[in-house]
């Protein structure tokens, strides 16, 4: 059965990007490969992805995908990706991208069909993930908690998701990161 999962890294104080929308803090705090192995296992079960416009723009700029569009395939293969946006964005040539607007519900149905029994990765940002959560479409949150306090930035999830909906499923750690998996109950 397809699960819709939010897999991301966060600072201890709950931010996924710093006040300048940068992830450099995460790369500086990177662990010794356990996180990479974890992500590889996770991504092997991903059949569709979704991200917001700000996340998409960050990926484009940080990875130089418009100058070297082949990198998209190296990172994501042929996995279809829906980009939720209210503005025009440049597509990465040959990437399986759909630019969409509006309610996440009908798009989620398309994503489930495209995932073909595999999982859906909500790449970010937190507001988009919150929209899936509000609609009862978010099944799991997988967090890598980095040993960093940012003080400000983009919040992990800028919506209330009460303890009654979250059940801790797994805890792992290495010498730097804690990895938490929560099942999300549906309202």
Please say whether the beta carbons of 4 and 39 come within 8 A.
no
**Chain segment 21-33, per-residue pLDDT in tens:** 888 898 888 866 6
pLDDT at residue 83, as a whole number: 98
pLDDT at residue 175, as a whole number: 84
pLDDT at residue 33, as a whole number: 60
The CA distance from 181 to 6, in Å, is 10
pLDDT at residue 36, as a whole number: 67
Over its length of 187 residues, how does the chain's per-residue pLDDT go in tens digits?
A: 999 999 999 999 999 999 998 888 988 888 666 666 888 899 999 999 999 999 999 999 989 999 999 999 999 999 999 999 999 999 999 899 999 999 999 999 999 999 999 999 999 999 999 999 999 999 999 999 999 999 999 999 988 888 999 999 999 998 889 999 999 998 7
Q: Where does residue 165 rank: exposed (0-12), middle (13-18), buried (19+ CB within 10 A)?
A: middle
**Chain segment 88-118, per-residue pLDDT in tens:** 999 999 899 999 999 999 999 999 999 999 9
pLDDT at residue 40, as a whole number: 87
Rounded-to-10 torsion of CA 109, 182, 7, 119: -40
State the pTM of this model.
0.93
- What is the topology classification, in CATH, of domain 4-184? Dihydrofolate Reductase, subunit A (3.40.430)
- How do the domains of the chain map onto residue ranges? 4-184
- What angle, 0 to 180 degrees and rounded to 10, lies between the N-to-C axes of helices 126-134 and 104-115? 90
């Amino acid at each position: 059965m397809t699960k819709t999962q939010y897999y991301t890294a966060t600072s201890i104080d709950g931010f996924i990007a710093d006040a300048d929308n940068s992830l450099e803090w995460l790369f500086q705090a990177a662990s010794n490969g356990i996180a990479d192995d974890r992500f590889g296992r996770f991504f092997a079960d991903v059949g569709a992805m979704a991200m917001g416009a700000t996340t998409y723009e960050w990926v484009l700029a940080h990875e130089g995908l418009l100058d070297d569009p082949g990198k998209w395939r190296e990172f994501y293969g042929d996995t279809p990706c829906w980009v939720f946006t209210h503005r025009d964005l440049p597509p990465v040539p040959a990437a399986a991208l759909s630019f969409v607007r509006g309610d996440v519900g009908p798009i989620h149905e398309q994503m489930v069909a495209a995932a073909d029994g595999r999982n859906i990765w909500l790449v970010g940002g937190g507001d988009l993930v919150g929209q899936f959560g509000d609609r009862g479409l978010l099944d799991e949150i997988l967090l890598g908690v980095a040993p960093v306090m940012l003080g400000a930035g983009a919040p992990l999830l800028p919506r209330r998701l009460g303890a009654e909906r979250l059940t801790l499923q797994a805890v792992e750690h290495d010498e730097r990161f804690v990895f938490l998996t929560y099942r999300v109950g549906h309202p």
